């Protein structure tokens, strides 16, 4: 099938894109890498009278570190995130998750902001944003506002952005010291969205006590799920005091409404999730412990 007819607008700056969204109203949609939107248009799952293309907007691409924050502009393609020396030195969890997103061709066109704004519950970048407590910089004709990742994802393909707002950049806090990061996921085939997955971050003090930690799961419900009660059990414990399997069990107990469908019963999905949490946590601890 082909998309329904639309008018194409190439934005020439972030402000121009915000102005176009403001002027064109609800009949307009941004297109960035097009890796999610183009198939939805082609299958006529959605239709818009106007598409505003931000894929070539210079001030929406780029990666910068500003003291303790890594700022990634929204239309930066995944492949540039994957290969960035600044990213691996600042937020290595982004470097670790990117190769798990689809296939190379998808990462070549798909953008970090597109993935986060699209808010697929099984996507990797939203889980990283939630785990690390990223801030979303959103722009509209009314100005700029920051939204905490914890308040940004509100359901399947839904965010707390208004329809005339665009995601301008994502601000990731940089964790430093004796820190480690891990990711694990399970998908039926290489390149598929994960059935369930998890990311983990940990900081150890000099006595190998967990001084900071964060775990987020993806694919388990309508949005990325932070494992807050598992984290509170882990905080202040020594390495090895709580087994990875127990961390997995604690993490899935936090998921109030697990996804449940005919192809994938919630019990199976949750057991996969627990196992990915255990692996991601083990990998993060090993990295923090051995450097
Ligand atoms: C076969 C296949 C496998 C895939 N596997 C995975 C996977 O394993 N993991 C994963 O995470 N993703 C996967 N994806 C999705 C891929 O990562 C997409 O690139 C991503 O979800 C959307 O990014 P995009 O730049 O292509 O956005 P687009 O498709 O251009 O846009 C997606 C949505 O986000 C909105 N949008 C885009 N940019 C902005 C912005 N700056 N501000 C506000 N709204 C914006 C658009 O209006 C649209 O609604 C897969 C895709 C395919 C086709």
CATH number at residue 113: 3.30.465.10
pLDDT at site 201: 98
Mean pLDDT (whole number) for 79-89: 98
Query: Considering the domain boundaries, does residue 191 fall inside one?
Result: yes
Mark whether 141 and 224 lie in a shared domain: no
Mark whether 17 and 40 lie in a shared domain: yes
Query: Considering the domain boundaries, does residue 244 fall inside one?
Result: yes
Which CATH number covers residue 30? 3.30.43.10
Query: Considering the domain boundaries, does residue 1 fall inside one?
Result: no
- 268: Cβ contacts below 8 Å, ≥ 6 apart: none
Mark whether 203 and 232 lie in a shared domain: yes
Query: Considering the domain boundaries, does residue 154 fall inside one?
Result: yes
Mark whether 134 and 188 lie in a shared domain: no
Query: Considering the domain boundaries, does residue 192 fall inside one?
Result: yes
pLDDT tens per residue, range 152-203: 999 999 999 999 999 999 999 999 999 999 999 999 998 899 999 999 999 9
Cα of 77 to ligand 1 centre, how many Å?
10
Mark whether 128 and 214 lie in a shared domain: no
Query: Considering the domain boundaries, does residue 2 fall inside one?
Result: no
Cα of 33 to ligand 1 centre, how many Å?
7
Mark whether 141 and 214 lie in a shared domain: no
Pocket lining: 167 vs ligand 1, CB cutoff 6 Å: yes
Among 132, 148, 173, residue at a domain's last position: 173
Query: Considering the domain boundaries, does residue 275 fall inside one?
Result: yes
Mark whether 25 and 100 lie in a shared domain: no
pLDDT at site 251: 97
User: What CA–CA distance (Å, rounded) separates 200 from 270?
Assistant: 17
Give the residue numbers spanning the domain of 159.
59-173
Pocket lining: 14 vs ligand 1, CB cutoff 6 Å: no
Pocket lining: 123 vs ligand 1, CB cutoff 6 Å: yes
State the angle between helix axes of 244-253 and 266-290 in degrees (0 to 180), rounded to the nearest 10. Answer: 130
Mark whether 272 and 202 lie in a shared domain: yes
How many domains does the chain fold into?
A: 3
Cα of 34 to ligand 1 centre, how many Å?
7
pTM across the whole model: 0.97
Mean pLDDT (whole number) for 107-115: 98
* Residue 263 pLDDT class (50, 70, 90 cuts): confident
């Amino acid at each position: 099938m082909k998309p329904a007819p639309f008018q194409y607008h190439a934005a020439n700056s972030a402000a121009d894109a915000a102005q176009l969204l403001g002027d064109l109203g609800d009949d307009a949609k941004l297109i960035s890498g097009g890796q999610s939107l183009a198939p939805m248009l082609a299958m006529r799952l959605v239709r818009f009278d106007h598409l505003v293309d931000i894929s070539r907007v210079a001030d929406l691409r780029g990666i910068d570190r500003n003291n303790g924050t890594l700022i990634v502009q929204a239309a930066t393609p995944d492949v540039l995130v994957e290969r960035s020396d600044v990213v691996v030195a600042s937020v290595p969890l982004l470097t670790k998750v990117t190769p798990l997103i689809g296939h190379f061709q998808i990462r070549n066109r798909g953008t970090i902001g597109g993935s986060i704004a699209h808010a697929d519950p099984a996507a990797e970048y939203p889980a990283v944003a939630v785990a690390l407590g990223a801030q979303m910089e959103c722009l509209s004709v009314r100005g700029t506002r920051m939204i905490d990742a914890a308040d940004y994802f509100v359901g399947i393909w839904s965010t707390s952005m208004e329809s005339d707002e665009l995601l301008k950049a994502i601000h990731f806090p940089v964790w430093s010291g004796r820190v480690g990061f891990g990711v694990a996921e399970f998908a039926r085939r290489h390149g598929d969205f994960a059935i369930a997955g998890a990311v983990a971050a940990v900081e150890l003090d000099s006595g190998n006590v967990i001084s900071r930690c964060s775990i987020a799961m993806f694919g388990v419900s309508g949005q990325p799920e932070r494992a807050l009660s598992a984290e509170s059990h882990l905080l202040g414990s020594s390495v090895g005091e709580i087994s990875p399997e127990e961390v997995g069990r604690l993490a899935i107990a936090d998921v109030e409404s697990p996804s449940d469908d005919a192809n994938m019963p919630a019990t199976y999905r949750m057991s996969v999730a627990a196992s990915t949490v255990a692996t991601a946590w083990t990998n993060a601890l090993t990295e923090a412990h051995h450097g």
